């Protein structure tokens, strides 16, 4: 029996527009090969920087493109490490947690509920403590919880940041991966561009192209650029030029709609299966993104995981994200509709106690 993976937060193969992207790569190379195949700016491929700058209403000098947004997160964290203290949501994306700890940061996890980060807790920390280097936030369809920070809290957090001179990094790879409801303004927009904004084409085009971007304040852009130069001279321009061609020929929107339709159907299937097989379990019901967050009512998710793997299904324990022992992340982005139903049935059968 093959294991069904609710652990993999990656797009299913059907999401990847392979032929179209192959054509984009070929066209980009034929048109601009001498630039793409050489060393260039540490901040990325100029035509793509310009496109992103226009989307955000900023000068291209503020846009910094990296080999995936996680690489940019490393650059930023390395650059700010002198302050040694960082605030994050509890739970939060596990890779930044590891990166921050490896860089020697003292990581402070702030409480969240269904509306996202609790601004009162943030205010308390800012009043009481040693000033942190920055706040790392994933406000929309958060990894791992799928939660979205409410508009009121977005406003409050932006105000608090301004009042206390707190640097905020808004990580937003899922903002456009919305298959229901209306988008909320980003913290970047609400702050008039003071918040650092980061996103990626990993969820909207293809993760293997490794194209992520940041909008920094100008001075910070120059400083982080120096770290990038010292690390790899130039990011991979072929991936960026391929994305640029994909955008300029008008393929981005139709592809996004196709991907969002695919993901929405998977979210529906997972919620329906959970309602059917695990009606006592509390879960988030996101309008976009890749993930659901389960609260297992006192059941230790490490015990459940061991039993679930024997039953042929896997997921990620909430503690990997700094969450409580009785929480779990289920990804529905990679699995088929049939696998979702079967996997949830296996999970229900593996539960050590009835809930
Ligand atoms: C919140 C968040 N940020 C960043 C990333 C990484 O994006 P990239 O592929 O651009 O490095 C992910 C990937 O899963 C993510 O969930």
Give the tens place of pLDDT for each residue, 13-71.
999 999 999 999 999 999 999 999 999 999 999 999 999 999 999 999 999 999 999 99
For residue 197 and ligand 1, the question of a CB distance below 6 A is answered with no
Give the rounded distance of the alpha carbon of 128 from its chain centre.
30
Biggest CA–CA distance in the chain, Å, is 63
Count of CB atoms situated within 10 Å of the CB of 307:
15
Alpha-helical regions (H) of 81-164: 94-102, 119-128, 151-164
d(CA 20, CA 33): 18
Give me the phi and psi of 18, to 5 degrees please: -60, -50
Atom of ligand 1 nearest to the CA of 142: 1
Atom number in ligand 1 closest to CA 211: 10
pLDDT, greater one: 308 or 84: 308
pLDDT in tens, 198-249: 999 999 999 999 999 999 999 999 999 999 999 999 999 999 999 999 999 9
Task: Tell me which residue of 100, 180, 189, 109 sits closest to 148, measured CA to CA.
Answer: 180
For residue 101, report the distance from its CA to the centre of ligand 1, in Å.
Answer: 18
3-state SS assignment for residue 90:
strand
How many whole angstroms separate alpha carbon 200 and alpha carbon 77? Answer: 18
pTM: 0.97
Mean pLDDT, residues 258-285 taken together: 97
Q: Which pLDDT value is given to residue 176?
A: 98
- Ligand 1 pocket check for 69: Cβ under 6 Å: yes
Contact present, 73 and 67 (Cβ < 8 Å): no
3-state secondary structure 147-183: CCCCHHHHHHHHHHHHHHCCCEEEECCCCCCECCCCC
Higher-pLDDT residue of 187 and 355 is 187
Q: What is the pLDDT of residue 302?
A: 96
> Is pLDDT above 60 for 97?
yes
Is residue 212 in contact with ligand 1, taking CB distance under 6 Å? Answer: yes
Confidence of residue 128 (pLDDT cuts 50, 70, 90): confident
DSSP state letters, 204-216: TT-GGG--EEEE-
Pairing status of strand 282-283 against strand 212-215? unpaired
Q: Which residue has the tokens 């301004």?
A: 162
Burial of 71 (0-12, 13-18, 19+ CB in 10 A): middle
Q: Report the nearest atom of ligand 1 relative to the CA of 138.
A: 1
Q: According to the model, what pLDDT value does residue 354 have?
A: 52
Q: Give the integer Cα–Cα distance in Å for 11 and 289.
A: 11
Residue 352 in this model has a pLDDT that exceeds 80: no
d(CA 29, CA 251): 18
The model's confidence at residue 83, banded by pLDDT at 50, 70 and 90, is confident
On the question of a cis peptide bond just before residue 91, with omega within 30 degrees of 0, the verdict is yes
Bigger pLDDT: 162 or 82?
162
- Answer whether 313's CB lies under 8 Å from 350's CB: yes
pLDDT > 90? residue 287: yes
Distance CA 109, CA 107 (A): 6
CA of 69 to the centre of ligand 1 (A): 6
Q: Which residue has the tokens 């002198």?
A: 82
Give the pLDDT mean for 167-194: 97
Q: How confident is the model at residue 353 (pLDDT cuts 50, 70, 90)?
A: low
Q: Which residue has the higher pLDDT, 276 or 280?
A: 276
CA 318/CA 297 separation, integer angstroms: 13
Measured CA to CA in angstroms, residue 316 lies from 144, 178, 293, 303 at distances of 9, 23, 10, 12
Residue with CA nearest ligand 1 atom 6: 70
Residue 130 has pLDDT above 90, yes or no: no
Burial of 202 (0-12, 13-18, 19+ CB in 10 A): buried
- The pLDDT of residue 82 is 77
Range 213-247 burial, b when 16+ CB lie within 10 A, else e: bbbbeeebbeebbebbeeeeebbbbbbbbbbbbbb
Q: Is the pLDDT of residue 99 over 90?
A: yes
Give distance in angstroms: CA of 355 to centre of ligand 1.
Answer: 33
Instruction: Give the residue whose CA is nearest to atom 7 of ligand 1.
Output: 69
| Ligand 1 site, residue 93, Cβ cutoff 6 A | yes
């Amino acid at each position: 029996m093959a294991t069904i993976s609710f652990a993999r937060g990656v797009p299913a193969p059907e999401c990847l527009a392979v032929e179209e992207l192959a054509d984009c790569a070929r066209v980009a190379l034929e048109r601009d090969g001498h630039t793409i195949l050489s060393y260039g700016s540490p901040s990325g491929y100029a035509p793509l920087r310009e496109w992103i700058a226009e989307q955000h209403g900023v000068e291209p000098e503020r846009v910094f493109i990296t080999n995936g947004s996680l690489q940019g997160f490393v650059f930023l964290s390395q650059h700010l490490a002198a302050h040694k203290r960082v605030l994050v949501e509890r739970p939060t994306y596990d890779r930044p947690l590891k990166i921050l700890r490896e860089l020697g940061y003292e990581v402070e996890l702030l409480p969240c509920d269904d509306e996202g980060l609790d601004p009162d807790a943030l205010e308390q920390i800012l009043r009481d403590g040693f000033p942190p280097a920055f706040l790392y936030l994933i406000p929309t369809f958060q990894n791992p919880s799928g939660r979205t920070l409410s508009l009121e809290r977005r406003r409050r957090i932006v105000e608090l940041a301004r009042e206390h001179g707190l640097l905020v990094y808004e990580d937003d790879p899922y903002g456009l991966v919305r298959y229901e409801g209306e988008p909320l303004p980003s913290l970047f927009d609400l702050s008039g561009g003071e918040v650092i904004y980061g996103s990626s084409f990993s969820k909207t085009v293809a993760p293997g192209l490794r194209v992520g971007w940041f909008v920094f304040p100008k001075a910070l852009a120059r400083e982080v650029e120096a770290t990038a130069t010292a690390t790899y001279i130039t990011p991979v321009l072929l991936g960026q030029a391929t994305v640029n061609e994909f955008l300029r020929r008008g393929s981005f929107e139709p592809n996004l709609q196709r991907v969002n339709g695919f993901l929405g159907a998977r979210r529906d299937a997972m919620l329906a299966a959970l309602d059917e097989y695990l009606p006592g379990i509390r879960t988030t019901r996101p309008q976009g993104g890749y993930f659901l967050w389960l609260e297992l009512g006192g059941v230790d998710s490490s015990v459940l995981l061991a039993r679930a793997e024997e039953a042929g299904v896997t997921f990620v324990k909430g503690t990997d994200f700094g969450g409580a022992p009785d929480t779990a992340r289920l990804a529905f982005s990679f699995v088929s509709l049939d696998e979702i139903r079967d996997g949830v049935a296996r999970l229900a059968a593996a539960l050590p106690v009835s809930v």
